Amino acid sequence: MTGAVPGPDGRLRCPWALSTEDYVTYHDEEWGRPLHGDDALFERLSLEAFQSGLSWLTILRRREGFRTAFDGFKIASVATFTDADKERLLADAGIIRNRAKIDATLANARLLADWPAGELDTLIWSYAPDAAKRPVPRTIADIPAVSDESTALSKALKKRGLRFIGPTTAYALMQACGLVDDHLSDCVARGKA
């Protein structure tokens, strides 16, 4: 399997990041960087659920559409969405119009709206593994799709009533939000958190 490869600027990056400019920007500026805040984590949790079975590029390119459709992923706002809002979402070509994923996002917002401020952030980050005990990936083959921590996080979120968050989605969330740094050892973005 391949290690970091040079991008158009000559700097080494994770190979997945080089197929489009969208990926280069996301890779360099967001992926693997610590993200905090209940609304910000709700957005990533929701987008990771929408991505399930699809390319992340599809989600990235519709991200602004998602943000508009879901009122910036403000939990308090999305929790008040009505059946009419759900129908609007199902008709919105700017997002992924998957009924189960939309239903899960709305149900998750309603549930999270009753949590104390900061609880989602605290819960998710409590599953961050000790970085010192994780091997630094040299190739993409060294990066798992799930981990013990993502499996435990998935179970904890499901136990609390959240939907559409399996262990693989939980691991993708951990990568996206910087709980783990899966940038390859030679990648320019490694350790930029």
Contact status, residue 128 vs residue 34, Cβ threshold 8 Å? no
27 is in an annotated binding site: yes
Distance CA 137, CA 121 (A): 26
Annotated catalytic residue within 26, 31, 127, 171: 26
User: For the chain, how far is it from start to end, CA to CA, in angstroms?
Assistant: 25
56 is catalytic: yes
Consult the annotation and say whether 36 binds a ligand: no
Q: Which of 23, 31, 43, 48 is catalytic?
A: 48
Is 32 within 8 Å of 193 (Cβ atoms)?
Answer: yes
How far apart CA 3 and CA 13 sit, in angstroms, is: 9
| Residue 171 annotated to the active site | no
| 30 annotated active-site | no
Residues 6+ apart with CB under 8 A from 87: none
Query: Is 177 labelled as part of a ligand binding site?
Result: no
Q: Which of 16, 56, 115, 125 is catalytic?
A: 56
**Residues tagged in the binding site annotation for Zn(2+):** 14, 27, 183, 187
Catalytic residue numbers, as ranges: 26, 48, 56
**Residues tagged in the binding site annotation:** 14, 27, 183, 187
